[in-house]
Amino acid sequence: MIDVKGWAAQDAKSPLKPIRFQRQDPGPKEVHIQVLFCGVCHSDIHQVKDEWGNTIYPCLPGHEIVGRVIRTGAQVTKARPGDLVGVGCMIDSCRQCEPCRAGEENYCEGPNSWLATYNGPMVPAAKAGKNTYGRDNTYGGYSTDLVVTEDFLLRIPAGIEPAKAAPILCAGVTTFSPLKHWRVKAGDHIAIIGFGGLGDMALKLAKALGAHVTVFTTSQDKIDSARAIGADDAVLETDKDALARFTARFDFMLSTVPQKHDLNPFVPMLKRDATLVAVGALEPMAEINHMQVAAHRRRIAGSLIGSLAETQEVLDFCAAHQITPDIELIPIARINEAYEHVESGDVRYRYVIDMESLRAAA
């Protein structure tokens, strides 16, 4: 057994606090990773506060994990001690359903769906009637050590700072996957709604794909920074006159807003047959005026993180194009304060926890 230190919530109302627990030693096909960095995703906060109504406590979040392999099981072939690796939102899937066989584990249709890095599996045994993975609750990356099957490891390419690679594992792939799936290409006019950790990555990735990018934000002070990061245009969502300029303008729109929001101001901006994909919110969306959808055969869609292959692809894409998220490195002791800033949108643009601060703690 491995003695592990982490930070977890014991209930929906309390802040995260230090916790000590044990992880199993790695099995034949598993690796033991020393966690170096872990990004802070808005989902972590939703889960900790039980805002999706499915949290199992203790809840130990973290799914943007960069670490160093320190031990490997006897049959491991894909990693060696010393390797710099990443772990994203998934640590396993059923491997048998059609999506899994097609390499789209993030849409796993197995009885428990995919095994989330924390608070997993996605469909708990109580609901599915069976437990494919033998676990009712997984503990994530806000911890010193992780044990994971080699099949769900990502390679961190040389040329990306390890701390900056962390947000690519969720914020990066969550935005990259729909950009690729809906074939965003050079010259397309696209919109990014919401400019936080996902918006920052979406903008950089879309620009690297050659798109003309307009950012919509609710923060006046993000207008300038979005332009500085590369946006061709940046618009305050509350400026109705400005919004009217964009009727039927976009080939593709990506909403990264991490909570229920009103898409009605944006739907008319879609060209005929174009799609608005919301990736940030996983709750009921405000009522959508269907006249605006039908009038130009528009589409509203969702997309959930990305596959293992897409995650590796976006890591490599970021290395090749020298794309990294804008991050603020924090010690674990500042995590509760960081949550407050994330909730108020007051972060530029992703907090990453330096896990050395946890290892060094008493």
Nearer of residues 183 and 297 to a copy of itself, judged by Cβ: 297
By three-state DSSP, how is residue 77 classified? coil
Contact present, 327 and 354 (Cβ < 8 Å)? no
Amino acid identity at 158: A
Shortest distance (Å) from residue 168 CB to a copy of itself: 20
Quote the Cα angle for 217-218-222, to 5°.
60
Residues that bind a copy of itself (CB under 8 A): 52, 98-99, 104, 107, 109, 113, 181, 248, 272, 275, 278-279, 281-291, 293-304
CA dihedral 154→155→159→162, nearest 10 degrees, is 60
Nearer of residues 109 and 316 to a copy of itself, judged by Cβ: 109
Cα distances from 298 to residues 52, 178, 276, 278, 289, in angstroms, run: 28, 16, 8, 14, 12
Q: Taking the CA atoms of 73, 138, 19 and 6 in sequence, report the sign of the dihedral they define.
A: positive
CA-to-CA distance for 127 and 204, rounded, in angstroms?
39
Nearer of residues 181 and 348 to a copy of itself, judged by Cβ: 181
Cα distances from 159 to residues 68, 75, 291, 315, 316, in angstroms, run: 16, 29, 48, 10, 10
Shortest distance (Å) from residue 99 CB to a copy of itself: 6
Shortest distance (Å) from residue 209 CB to a copy of itself: 19
Query: φ and ψ at 5, to 5 degrees?
Result: -105, 140
Shortest distance (Å) from residue 293 CB to a copy of itself: 4
Shortest distance (Å) from residue 92 CB to a copy of itself: 17
Nearer of residues 25 and 273 to a copy of itself, judged by Cβ: 273
Nearer of residues 26 and 280 to a copy of itself, judged by Cβ: 280
Nearer of residues 76 and 108 to a copy of itself, judged by Cβ: 108
In 10 A of CB 75, how many CB atoms? 10
Cα distances from 133 to residues 4, 49, 139, 324, 334, in angstroms, run: 21, 25, 14, 34, 33
Shortest distance (Å) from residue 282 CB to a copy of itself: 4
Q: Taking the CA atoms of 106, 110, 116 and 119 in sequence, report the sign of the dihedral they define.
A: positive
Nearer of residues 209 and 300 to a copy of itself, judged by Cβ: 300
> What single string gives the DSSP state of each residue in 18-31?
EEEEEEPPP-TTEE
Distance in angstroms between the alpha carbons of the first and the last residue of the chain: 20
Shortest distance (Å) from residue 281 CB to a copy of itself: 5
Shortest distance (Å) from residue 260 CB to a copy of itself: 8
Nearer of residues 236 and 288 to a copy of itself, judged by Cβ: 288
Buried-exposed string 89-102: b where 16+ CB fall within 10 A, e elsewhere: bbbbbbeebebbee
Shortest distance (Å) from residue 96 CB to a copy of itself: 15
Nearer of residues 79 and 281 to a copy of itself, judged by Cβ: 281
